Amino acid sequence: MPRSHPFTAHIPALTNKEGILYDVVGVGNALVDMIAMVDDAFLQSNNMVKGSMALIETDRALELTSAVGTSTRTSGGSGANTLAGIASLGGEVAFIGKVANDDLGKEFAGDMTSVGVDFRSGTPSGDEPTGRCIIAVTPDAQRTMNTFLGISTQLSSEDLDPAVIGAGAVLYLEGYLFDRDEAKAAFRRAASIAHDHGRVVSLTLSDSFCVDRHRADFRELVRDEIDILFANEDELKSLYEVDDFDDAVQLLRRDCHIAAVTRSEKGAVIVTRDDVHAVPAAPVASVVDTTGAGDLFAAGFLRGLTQGKDLTSCARIGAIAAAEVISHVGPRPLVPLIGLLPDDLR
């Protein structure tokens, strides 16, 4: 049976305010995005397939880091993007991830601090370097990505700070981190700490391939520990191994009190035990890059939640944040998101 939840399906009130320092505390991969402008000859000489996304190992990561030379570097990772979005909406946030004691690790920490995120790194261990995503952008605006997860995947229960987790009104867990058994144990410990403090626990499924790899564990986690689930349509259908979206929604209603499921231009569907609410996408003049759309939708939804907004208003804020990020290249907002909200959503 699903656990009891700290709020009803209709009114996501965060009733226990004692000891809260953060609106949201996130746990996820800590990666540095390295964006370099290159030509097609660079891709060919470095055996890259234009427009592809590849997971790479340490030697390849060091080779490409040297090859791109000067690059624009920012803190990255799905969960980190969500926390940066909440900060842009005026929220108080902290992020727990793992970086090495190297130059990129210091850059990640400094950049997160600069956008208003209290970054708490896990303890560095071994010689594994900080994770990075090397993004080669050609003149035709094609993005070729090579991702090295590095030390970020080694986050374990020992890296969690119970005081920080307990001080967050909402805990946000990034599904991309779920590959290792140590990370699965860390998720459950973090959820336990949060619930012991009367907090809300949320999870983003992150990627349908990630769900394919860990379907049984994800379903158990959702059923037993998760109060709010974020997913897109493909991830949800993968979770329940069905082809029809409505069938997946009905199965989801058994397991989770609240879920926010994004459907690209169709908007989002908010699912509760008692009802299903459709919320349209926010208008956008031109879709340039969909990277980070789901991350920023979650940011807006959670910001609304911590301000006591109703579920439809939470989804509207999420849609506005997502619309901003898909209007330009890159997964972070280029303007303060709080300035885009109408008065009734602030």
88 within a domain of the structure (yes/no): yes
Question: CA-CA distance, 204 to 118, in Å (whole number)?
Answer: 20
pTM of the model: 0.90
278 within a domain of the structure (yes/no): yes
8 A C-beta contact, residue 132 and residue 148: yes
Question: CA-CA distance, 34 to 250, in Å (whole number)?
Answer: 41
User: In this structure, which amino acid lies at residue 296?
Assistant: L
User: In this structure, which amino acid lies at residue 32?
Assistant: V
Residue (of 62, 124, 116, 127) closest to 99 by Cα position: 124
Residue (of 89, 98, 86) closest to 180 by Cα position: 98
63 within a domain of the structure (yes/no): no
307 within a domain of the structure (yes/no): yes
pLDDT at position 9, please?
Answer: 38
12 within a domain of the structure (yes/no): no
pLDDT at position 176, please?
Answer: 87
The CATH number that applies at residue 118 is 3.40.1190.20
Q: From its phi and psi, is residue 47 left (phi > 0), alpha (psi between -120 and 50) or beta?
A: left
8 A C-beta contact, residue 133 and residue 107: no
- Structurally, the chain folds into a number of domains equal to 1
318 within a domain of the structure (yes/no): yes
142 within a domain of the structure (yes/no): no
pLDDT at position 14, please?
Answer: 58
137 within a domain of the structure (yes/no): no
What tens-digit pLDDT sequence spans the chain (346 residues)?
Answer: 344 444 443 334 455 677 899 999 999 999 998 888 889 999 999 999 988 878 899 999 999 999 998 888 889 899 999 999 999 999 999 999 999 999 999 999 999 999 999 999 987 777 889 999 998 888 887 778 898 999 998 999 999 999 999 999 999 999 988 888 898 899 999 999 999 998 999 999 988 888 998 899 999 999 999 999 999 999 999 999 999 999 999 999 989 889 999 999 999 999 998 889 999 999 999 888 888 899 999 999 999 999 989 999 999 999 999 999 999 878 899 999 999 999 999 8
Structural domain of residue 186, as residue ranges?
22-30+77-128+150-345
